[in-house]
Chains A and B, each alone.
Chain A
Amino acid sequence: MNVRRWRRWACRNSFSASGIILALLLIIACLLAPILAPGDPTTIDLTTGLQSPSSAHWLGTDELGREVLSRVLWAGRLSISTMAVVLLCCVGVGGAVGVVSGYLGGLIDNVAMRIADFFHAVPQLVLALALIGVLGPGTGSLITALIVTGWVRYARLVRSLVLSEQNSEYIVAVQAIGATHTRIILRHLLPSVTGPMLVQISLDSGATILAIAGLSFIGLGIQPPTPEWGKMLVDARPYLGSAPHLVLPPGLAIFVLVFGFNSLSAGLEHILRPGN
């Protein structure tokens, strides 16, 4: 990755660049939750319920006396790791299907792409919800549902990239030297698709964070008492008018992460574009 290009992009798009840095700081803070969080996120103490932010509780406490700051950090840790697992699996499964399907073509390609069409025809959230409905709500179902509905995009993307690369001279050349299929796929095709993949992964990171929060918001994602941003917002609903410190932090945290990932994807797209 070209540092000079990044620096030039960041100078011209200072707002997006600061969004990326802010998101990065938030991610680090969330991952360090066991060290940074001032208290346990699930310990209930009804004597200190609904306190406004103060020096003792930086973001105040919720209706059950739990530290909002600890909950935001722990929730972020869980959301970010869930997102990472989901995307890793989606990229792995989708990438494998896409490469094989694009490279081999024929019957395998036809069958794989028709199946992908069926998945693609339903909005992701709707299909994920159907899966959760059958499996029952919970973190495991959430991850399964997001993977089952998320691999398709990568399969299609990788397949189209492989198809466009496949007939390039360098691939024909290595084929002519007698390289095996596995070698061509791993050593030559995969490196050429990493750029567009990174743009898509970055975009999907934000979308996945939103999906996790949204599904937990309607009670079908991560289950209490585990803290989660969407769930924290629902629990704050009765205090919308009286306790803004319960509504603002989880929402802002989601916003910062999603904005950071969207900006990163825009930056990547700009930097990877040939001719820049």
Chain B
Amino acid sequence: MAIYLFKRISSSIVVLLGVSLLLYCLVYLAPSDPARIIAAQRLGGDVPGADEIEWVRKEYGLDQPLLVQYVSWLGRTVRGDLGYSIRTGNPVADELRHAVGYSLALAAAAMGLVLVIAIPAGVLAGMHEGSVWDRVMRFVSATWVSIPEFWLAFLLIACFSIQLRWLPSYGAKSWRHFILPVLSLGLISAARLAYLIRSAVLEELHQDYMRTARGKGYSYRMSVIRHALPNIVAPFVTMAAYQFSGLASGSVIIETLFAWPGVGSYYVDGIGFRDIPVIQVTALFFASVFMLANCLADVIIVMVDPRVRME
């Protein structure tokens, strides 16, 4: 167990280092000189002179070789010094910390909604394959996964903010501001997860141990609860972690749409302004969350599923 954990975490760290290098190298893809961009933005739109560009190049260490720059950037990032936003001049660490709270609240609420809908819907549909409920569920999930989330958000806004005037359509001031973004983010993920759960349940129902359980006299429902469901925990955790990462990227669009002050809209603002420190750090943040979710999922699986432990 301890060995597995160590291996899993160290391989995640290696991948994260690779991602950070990848993101750092991105800057060098820029068609224009980063020193020129930074100098121009510091001057607020004026055309920078050659000596100003040189000053920025020295000040930001852009005259050093790529690897030296990367290592010093990585060192500062690991110690929590995430640099300064070019757009606002504030420390990226402070701005990001502020945004993370909002995003976590949104993601947690959306994930809660996803689980509350997807688990019962998927399990019931799987248990009663071919029933009316199963067919309705399959129809709804097949259509919902094809709906763009920003269009769903628009339809929800048109209905609940404009026609009924019940809920606000942007901002993050009260709990009522939560509802529409959470629905827009959660409903589509829920449909996708419900369908996956249904397939996982169906697969278990055709296993031999289910026939044995029925033969011993368990009722259908009891045999599902006692035998099939514990066996789908492992695939379920993997799928849920994957959906959580999906929520992270979905939040980029949904947060922008609802003017939600989270990491997603912070990222988009940074991109619109070519705020390179913000782009690098925020993308690395998304990657870390993604890695953490997958890592956690694997640890949970090892803990709950003895079959995986044996390998």
A→B interface (CB under 8 Å) = 15-16, 114-115, 117-119, 121-127, 129-137, 206, 210, 213-214, 217-220, 230, 233, 236-237, 240-241, 244, 247, 250-251, 254-255, 258-259, 262-263
B286: interface (CB < 8 Å): yes
Residues on A with beta carbons closer than 8 Å to the beta carbon of B291? 121
Q: State how many angstroms separate the Cβ of A127 from the closest Cβ of chain B.
A: 7
Top 7 nearest A-B pairs (CB, nearest first) are A133-B271, A241-B162, A251-B151, A118-B18, A259-B146, A258-B146, A123-B249
4 other A-B residue contacts (CB within 8 Å) besides A135-B31, A220-B268, A247-B154: A16-B142, A133-B270, A214-B253, A240-B162
Q: State how many angstroms separate the Cβ of A10 from the closest Cβ of chain B.
A: 15
Residue among A119, A218, A219, A247 with max Cβ neighbours from chain B (10 Å): A218
Give the contact-size bracket for chain B: 35 or more
Residues on A with beta carbons closer than 8 Å to the beta carbon of B23? 130
Are the C-beta atoms of B30 and A135 separated by less than 8 Å? yes
Residues on B with beta carbons closer than 8 Å to the beta carbon of A137? 272
Known: A118-B15, A119-B22, A125-B249. A255 touches B151 (CB 8 A): yes
Q: State how many angstroms separate the Cβ of B99 from the closest Cβ of chain A.
A: 14
- Expressed in whole angstroms, the Cα–Cα distance for A213 and B253 within the complex equals 11
B205: interface (CB < 8 Å): no
Q: B150, B163, B246, B267: which contacts A217 (Cβ < 8 A)?
A: B150
Are the C-beta atoms of B29 and A134 separated by less than 8 Å? yes
Residues on B with beta carbons closer than 8 Å to the beta carbon of A233? 150-151, 154
Q: A122, A210, A213: which contacts B19 (Cβ < 8 A)?
A: A122
- Expressed in whole angstroms, the Cα–Cα distance for A237 and B16 within the complex equals 39
Known: A214-B150, A244-B158. A125 touches B15 (CB 8 A): no
Residue among B21, B29, B276, B283 with max Cβ neighbours from chain A (10 Å): B283
Q: Please list 8 pairs of residues, one from A and one from B, whose beta carbons are closer than 8 Å in the complex, sorted by A's number.
A: A126-B249, A132-B271, A134-B279, A135-B30, A233-B150, A237-B154, A241-B158, A262-B142
Residue among A16, A114, A118, A263 with max Cβ neighbours from chain B (10 Å): A118
- Please give me the residue from chain A that is nearest to B31 by CB atom: A135
B→A interface (CB under 8 Å) = 15-16, 18-19, 21-23, 26-27, 29-31, 139, 142-143, 145-151, 154-155, 157-158, 162-163, 245-246, 248-249, 252-253, 256-257, 267-268, 270-272, 274-276, 279-280, 283, 286-287, 290-291
- Expressed in whole angstroms, the Cα–Cα distance for A265 and B109 within the complex equals 32
Q: State how many angstroms separate the Cβ of A101 from the closest Cβ of chain B.
A: 17
Are the C-beta atoms of B150 and A126 separated by less than 8 Å? no
- Expressed in whole angstroms, the Cα–Cα distance for A217 and B252 within the complex equals 11
- Expressed in whole angstroms, the Cα–Cα distance for A258 and B274 within the complex equals 31
Q: A125, A214, A220: which contacts B272 (Cβ < 8 A)?
A: A220
Are the C-beta atoms of A129 and B267 separated by less than 8 Å? yes
- Expressed in whole angstroms, the Cα–Cα distance for A247 and B153 within the complex equals 11
- Expressed in whole angstroms, the Cα–Cα distance for A173 and B271 within the complex equals 54
- Please give me the residue from chain B that is nearest to A23 by CB atom: B146
Q: State how many angstroms separate the Cβ of B74 from the closest Cβ of chain A.
A: 14
- Expressed in whole angstroms, the Cα–Cα distance for A124 and B157 within the complex equals 27
- Expressed in whole angstroms, the Cα–Cα distance for A124 and B290 within the complex equals 11
Are the C-beta atoms of A247 and B158 separated by less than 8 Å? yes
- Expressed in whole angstroms, the Cα–Cα distance for A131 and B28 within the complex equals 11
Residue among B249, B270, B291 with max Cβ neighbours from chain A (10 Å): B249
Residues on B with beta carbons closer than 8 Å to the beta carbon of A219? 272
Known: A118-B15, A218-B253. A123 touches B245 (CB 8 A): yes
